[in-house]
Structure 1
Amino acid sequence: MSRKIEIFDSTLRDGAQGSGISFSLDDKIKITLELDSLGVDYIEAGNPGSNQKDREYFEKINTMKLENSKLVAFGSTRRKNSNAAEDQNVNNLLIANTPAISIFGKSWDYHVTDVLGTTLEENLNMIADTISYMVSKEKEVIFDAEHFFDGYKNNPEYALSTLRAAVDAGARALVLCDTNGGAFPDEIYEITKKVIEEFGVDVGIHCHNDGGMAVANSIMSVEAGANQVQGTFLGIGERCGNANLSTIVPNLQIKRGYDCIPEENLQNLTTAARYIAEISNLTLDHSMPYVGNNAFAHKGGMHVDGIIKAKGSFEHIDPELVGNDRKFIMSEVSGKNTIISRIKKVDPSLTKDSPETKEILDLLKRLEHEGYQFEGAEASFDLVIRKHLGRYTPFFILDHYKIIEEEKQGEDDCTASALIKVIVKGREEMTAAEGNGPVNAIDKAIRKALEVFYENLKDFHLVDFKVRVLDGANTAAKVRVLIDSTDGQEFWSTIGVSTNIIEASVGALVDSIEYKLIKDLEQK
C-alpha cells in the first residue's frame, strides 16, 4: 500500500499574501469547495482574529458540510510574558470553530532575540503554553516551525528544542518551514531526516520559492520521510510564492506512487487549477507543469511527428491523467503533421496528402507573413480551416460599430462608449455600452447585444489582452492583437492584425465569440 501524504493547502491564507491577490468572501467559499471536491486533506483558511472578512468566512463555511477536507485556522503563539488563556489573538482562533489549528512559532534564535525581542527560554514557553491551551480545548494542533531551516543551520540545538516544546505540549504534527525560501534540496533532505529520527510524530514541509526550488524541496522532504506537504494550489504567495501543489501532487502521486488525493480526482487537476486561477483573477501561467495550457503543447515538426508516431516520445505523462489536453501549435515551422491534426478535427476524412492540407499550409504561411501568429491563437486558426473548407457559417454579423472617446474628470473609469449593430438570422439588435477604453467598450456592447440571442455567452469573458507593434515604431505601424478568453471551463486564444488597433481588436474579439459558439454547438 502506498504511503499517504497529507496535502495541506494554504491558498486562502499564505496565498492571499501574494502581490495582486485579494479574495472576496465569496471567492474564499468557492475555492474552499473546489479544494474539498478535489480531496485535499487540510484547508488553511485564515486567521479569524486578523480581519472581519475571515471571521465572516468561518461563520459561513461552518454552515456547510465539507466532504473531504478539514478546515484549519491559523495564528501565532501567545505574546511574550503573558498567558495563552488570556491572549485575545489566541482565543480568536477558537472563534473559527475549526477541528484543527495551525500555530506558528519562532525556531530561529536570531528571530527570537532580534524580532520578538525576548529570551530563548520565553519563546519555548510561548510555544508550549499556546499549544497546550489549544489541546485542552480539544483542537488538533499543527505546529509550524517558522524559519526552521535557517534556525537549524544557525543553532541546531535550539531549533530542535522548539520542536520538542511543541511535541511535549501535544502538537500532532511538526511542520518545518523554509520561510525565506533559500534552502537547497540536499539541505532539506538531510535536516528533515534528522528531525524524523529525533521525534515520533508526523512531520510536514512548508517551502517558499525564493530560490526557485520550493517544489523540489518539498519532494525531497517527502523522500526523507515527511508525510505532510503544505503549499498553495497555484504557487501564489508572498514574494516569489509558495510551493505549487498543482505540480507537487502529480509529481508525488504519478511519478513516485504516493497517495495524495483520491486517484479518480487526479483527472480534475487541470480544471481545478483553471477554476481557482479564474476566481483569483489570475492568468494561469501557460507553461505551468501539468495544468498549463502549454504543458503538453508541441510546435517543432520533429516533435509533432514523434508524438503522432509514439505518444511517449516527447511527453513525460499522458495529459489525460491530469485532465489536460495534447496540443499541436500552429506555426510556419510546424509541418504537415501539426496541420493535419487540426484539420482532422474539422474533417476527419482529410490526410496529410490531401490537396486541402497543402492549401491550408500555404495559407498559414501567407497569413504569418502578413503578421498573424497562430502559435498563440489556435482558436483563430480553427476558424481559418473551417472557412477554407466551407465548414463555417457565421453566428452573427457585426454590421457596424462606432466608438466615442472622451476625457472625464474624477474617478469614473468609463473613458469610451461604443454603439454597435449585430445581425443574427435576419434579426437586428442595436445597443451601446461604456467601458474603460474603446476595446473594453466594444467588447461589452457586442456581448450585450449577442446575449439576446445566445444565453451561453453570459459566462464568456476576456482574461488577457496583448498588443504588439509589428513593423516599426510609428503610428502607421501594423499591430497584432491577441485575446485570451474563457467560459470558466476552457481557455482559448484568438488574433487580429491591422494597422488600426481597434479593427485588430474587433477581429480577435469576433473570432473569440464565434469559437465559443461553435464549441458549445458541437458539444451538444
Structure 2
Amino acid sequence: MKVLIYDTTLRDGSQMEGVSFSVEDKLRIARRLDAFGIDYIEGGWPGAVPKDTEFFARLKAEPLQHARLAAFGMTRKAGETVEESALLRYLLEAETPVVTIVGKTHSRHVSETLRIPLDENLAMIRESVAYLKAHGKEVVFDGEHFFDGFKDDETYARACLSAAVEGGADWLCPCDTNGGALPHEIGETIAALVAAYPQTRIAMHPHNDGDCGTANALAAVRAGATQVQGTVNGFGERTGNANLVPVIANLRLKLGYDCLPEGALEELTALSHFVDEVANFSPNPKAAFVGRNAFTHKAGLHADAISKWPRAYDHIEPSAVGNQRRILVSEQAGSASIAQKANELGYALDKKSPVAKELLLTVTSMEHEGYSFEAAEASFELLLKKATGTYRRFFELVTFRVFIGKRACDTVPVTEATIKILVNGEEVNAVAEGDGPVNALDLALRKALEPAYPQLKDIALTDYKVRVVTTGEGTAAKVRTIVESTDHHGHMWATVGVSPNLIEASWQAIVDSIEYGLLKA
C-alpha cells in the first residue's frame, strides 16, 4: 500500500520558537526534501507572509522535480464571495498544483471564535473548495480542531467534511490541532471517516502535545489514511508537529508501507541533520533512528552480546536509515566493550587478552577520578596506543608557568604563558600571550612545537568545555575539561583532562589533542 508523505516544515515547522527561515533557507530545504523523495511539500502561506510569496515566485522558474508543491491558506471570509476573497486570489497566484485550505470543524470554534452562523462556515468550506477545484487545483481540506470537534459535536464535524466533499476536495485531512488525542481515538475516528467517505482520500495531520504524534500518525495509516502530514525533526508550534523522521522509518521498516523511492531511507539521518543545520540547531543526540545515541551502547553486557550478534540490542540495522552503531568506553564497560571499541578504531584486540583487561582497569580507575571517555574518544585511543605499544611521544614537558595580571587601569587581565619542553632531546622555550590562561598555554605550546612539527598549523582547537565533577567542594572542586579540535581535512576529535587545578586539567586535554592530531597527521 502506498502512503504519501506531506511535509509542512516550511510552513507549520517555521512556527516553532527559534526558527526563522530565510527565503534561501526555504529553497534549500525544499530542494533537499524533493531530492529525498517527499511527495508533497507545503511551502507556506502566500499573501500572508511576504517571504512565502517570494518563495513561490522563485520556484516558478525552477520547479521541483518529484514533489508536488502546495500553497497553504484558508477559506473565504464570512460575508464575502469567493471571487472577492484576497486569500483565495493569493493562493491561485502562487501557481502551485496543490492548494491546502484550513477551515473550522469544531462547532464551538465557529460560534465562539469566528462568531458566525454554523451554516455560513459550511458554505465557506464548500464554496472555497469548489472555487479552487474550478481553477484546476488538487485541494486538501485541513479540518482544524477536528478530533476535539468530533468528540464535542460529531454531527457538525462530519458536516464540515461533507461540505468539503461537496465542493470536490481531493483530500480530507482531519487535524489534531491541539495535539491531545490518543492513538486509539485517532484510529477509531479515521476508520469511521474512511467508511463514510469511500470516494475521497483521507489524510492525517497530528501534533505532538501529548507526545503521541508519531503513534497517532501510524494509527491513522493503519485505520486507512493514505497521507501523513508532519515536519522534519518535529518542528512546530508549542511541542511541535508529528516528526516525519520516525513516522517514515516506522512506516517503511516496521509496517512495510511504500512511502519513499527505493534507496531514499538510507538518507534519512543526513536529511534530519541537514534541516537542523539550516535552522541553526544542534541535532538531538537522542532522536529516534537518526540521533547519535540511537544505536550507541555503553553497558559491557550489551557490547559483549553485540560482538557476537550485532543486532542483539538494536531494533533495526542502523545503516538502514544512514546511521551507525557506536560502542562507548566507560566504567560500565567490560573487556568486550574495550576490545570492540579497539577493533572499531582499527586495533586487533581480543576481549580475553591481558591488554584488554589492563586497559579496562585503567579506564575504570580514571573514570572514578572524573575522566569521561564517552565524549573524548581521542584520549581513549591514546590510552589504547600506549597499551598496545603503538604510542609515540612527540615532546616532554620540563615546566610551564602561567602569569595573569591586571592593573586598575586595565580593562582585561594580561595573560602570559611560558613553557619549556624537550623536543627530540633538545630543550625548547616559548612565551605567548593569549585571551585567558588556556589560550595562552595552547599558543605557547604550539609556538614551541611548530618548528619541529609544521603540520601542527593544520590543527585548530574549536571548542573548550569545563565541568565540575566533585560537588560541595567550592573552588577546590575537581574539574573536567573537554577540548574539541579539527584539522584541514575536516576530521574532528575530542580529548579530556581532569584535575582540581583548571590549568592542569586544560593542559592534559590540550596535550592529548595535539598528540592525537600529530599521530593522525
Give the TM interval when normalised to the shorter protein: 0.7 to 0.9
- Corresponding residue of 2:254: 255
Work out whether 1:467 is the aligned partner of 2:467: yes
Give secondary structure in 2 for the equivalent of 1:311: coil
Counterpart of 1:223 in structure 2 is 222
Rounded Cα–Cα distance in structure 2 between residues aligned with 1:368 and 1:263: 45
Residues 499/214 of structure 1: CA separation in 2 closer, same or farther (3 Å cut): same
1:415 deviates by 9.3
What is aligned with 1:310? 309
Q: CA–CA distance in 2 between the matches of 1:481 and 1:87? A: 61
Of the two, which has the highest radius of gyration?
2
CA contact (8 A) 1:141 1:172 kept: yes
> Taking structure 1 as reference, are residues 480 and 82 closer, same or farther at Cα in structure 2, changes over 3 Å only?
farther
Report what 1:342 is aligned to: 341
The 8 Å contact of residues 466 and 483 in structure 1, kept in 2 or not, is answered as: no
Find the aligned partners of 2:45 and 2:357 in 1 and give their Cα distance.
Answer: 61
Alignment correspondent of 1:138: 136
Matched with 1:180 is 178
Structure 1 stretch 481-490 or stretch 54-63: which is displaced more? 481-490
Is the CA contact (8 Å cut-off) linking 2:482 and 2:496 kept in structure 1? yes
The aligned counterpart of 2:145 is: 147
Q: Residues 47 and 471 from structure 1, CA distance in 2 versus in 1: closer, same or farther, beyond 3 angstroms?
A: same
Cα deviation for residue 255 of structure 1 reads: 0.8
Aligned partner of 1:411 in structure 2 is none
Distance 1:327 1:401, change over 3 A: farther
Matches within 5 A, 1:473-484: 473-482=473-482
Structure 1 residues 292 and 129, CA gap change in structure 2 (3 angstroms): same
In the alignment, the residues of structure 1 paired with residue 28 and residue 294 of structure 2 have an alpha-carbon distance, to the nearest angstrom, of 26
Equivalent residues of 1:346, 1:386 under 8 A apart: no
Structure 1 segments unaligned to the other structure (5+ residues):
407-413
User: Aligned in 2, Cα 1:513/1:154: closer, same or farther, shift over 3 Å?
Assistant: farther
Change (3 A) 1:246 1:389: same
Q: Which moved more, 1:12-21 or 1:504-513?
A: 504-513
CA offset digits 1:179-229 (Å, max 9, x no partner): 111111111000000101111211111111111111111100000000011
Local SS of the residue matching 2:173: strand
Would you say the 8 A contact 2:73–2:101 is kept in 1?
A: yes
- Cα separation, 1, equivalents of 2:396 and 2:137: 62
Q: Secondary structure at the match of 1:332?
A: coil
> Which moved further from structure 2: 370-379 or 185-194?
370-379
**8 A contact 1:234–1:244 mirrored in 2:** yes
Q: How far apart in 1 are the matches of 2:361 and 2:378?
A: 18
Structure 1 pair 207–512 and aligned structure 2 pair: CA distance change class (3 A): farther
Amino acid across the alignment from 1:300: A
CA distance in 1, matches of 2:306, 2:176: 39
Kindly provide the CA deviation profile for residues 331-368 of structure 1, in whole angstroms up to 9, marking residues without a partner as x. Answer: 11210111111112344432223333233212212221
Give the counterpart letter for 1:362 in structure 2.
L
Aligned to 1:128: 126
Aligned equivalents of 1:445, 1:92: Cα separation in 2:
63
C-alpha spacing 1:388/1:316, structure 2 compared with 1 (3 Å):
same
- Which has the larger displacement, 144-153 or 339-348? 339-348
Distance 1:5 1:382, change over 3 A: farther
The superposition leaves residues 115-137 of structure 1 with CA deviations (integer Å, 9 ceiling, x where unpaired) of 11211111112212222222222
Question: SS at 1:128's partner residue?
Answer: helix
8 A contact 2:468–2:477 mirrored in 1:
no
Q: Distance in 2 between matches of 1:24 and 1:442?
A: 41
Note closer, same or farther for the CA distance 1:328–1:262 as it changes in structure 2 (3 Å cut). Answer: same
Distance 1:47 1:30 in 2: 18
- In the other structure, the counterpart of 1:245 is 244
SS, match of residue 233 in structure 2: coil
Residue 295 (structure 2) aligns with: 296
1:66 counterpart (53, 64, 81): 64
- What is residue 367 of structure 1 aligned with on the other side? 366
The answer (yes or no) to whether the contact 1:129–1:169 under 8 Å persists in 2 is yes
Q: How far apart are the structure 2 equivalents of 1:416 and 1:262?
A: 60
Using the alignment, how far apart are the partners of 2:181 and 2:406 within structure 1?
Answer: 53
TM-score in terms of structure 2 length:
0.83
1:497 aligns with 2:498: yes
Structure 1 residues 97, 514: closer, same or farther in 2, change over 3 A? farther
The CA deviation at 1:513 is: 8.5
Instruction: Tell me the distance in 2 between the aligned counterparts of 1:512 and 1:63.
Output: 49
Is 2:333–2:360's contact at 8 Å kept on the other side of the alignment?
no
Equivalent residues in 2 for 1:155-194, closer than 5 Å: 155-194=153-192
Measure the CA separation in 1 of the matches of 2:136 and 2:403. 66
Counterpart CA distance in 2 for 1:500 and 1:491 is 26
Aligned CA distance change for structure 1 residues 136 and 379 (closer, same or farther; 3 Å): farther
Distance 1:326 1:212, change over 3 A: same
Instruction: Give the match for residue 206 of structure 2.
Output: 207
In 2, the alpha carbon distance for the partners of 1:431 and 1:221 equals 64
Amino acid at match of 2:24: D
CA contact (8 A) 1:418 1:445 kept: no
Structure 2: gaps of 5 or more residues: 425-429
Contact 2:459 2:485 in 1 (8 A): no
The correspondence for 1:16, drawn from 14, 17, 20, is: 14
How far off its partner does 1:174 sit?
Answer: 1.1
* Inter-partner Cα distance in structure 2 for 1:395 and 1:82: 80
Contact 1:405/1:438 (<8 A) preserved: no
Question: Cα gap change, 1:502/1:176 in structure 2, threshold over 3 Å: closer, same or farther?
Answer: farther
Following superposition, the deviation at residue 154 of structure 1 comes to: 0.7
Q: TM-score, normalised by structure 1?
A: 0.83
Deviation, 1:501, is 5.0
Tell which deviates more after alignment, 249-258 or 262-271.
262-271
Distance 1:75 1:420, change over 3 A: farther
- Tell me, in whole angstroms, the C-alpha distance in 2 between the residues paired with 1:264 and 1:166: 37
Q: Secondary structure at the match of 2:122?
A: helix
Over the residues paired in the alignment, what is the CA RMSD in angstroms?
4.2
Using the TM superposition, give the Cα deviation of residue 11 of structure 1 relative to its aligned residue in structure 2, in angstroms.
1.4
Mean Cα displacement is larger for which, 329-338 or 30-39? 30-39
**Structure 2 CA distance for partners of 1:143 and 1:312, relative to 1, 3 Å:** same
Cα distance in structure 1, aligned partners of 2:39 and 2:307: 38
2:427 is matched with none
CA displacement at 1:387 relative to structure 2:
5.0
**Contact 2:207/2:240, CA 8 A, preserved across alignment:** yes
Is the Cα contact below 8 Å between 1:101 and 1:140 reproduced in 2?
A: yes
Aligned to 2:52: 54
**1: distance between equivalents of 2:100 and 2:237?**
18
Deviations 1:380-425 (A, max 9, x none): 423432454454669999999999999xxxxxxx9999999999x9
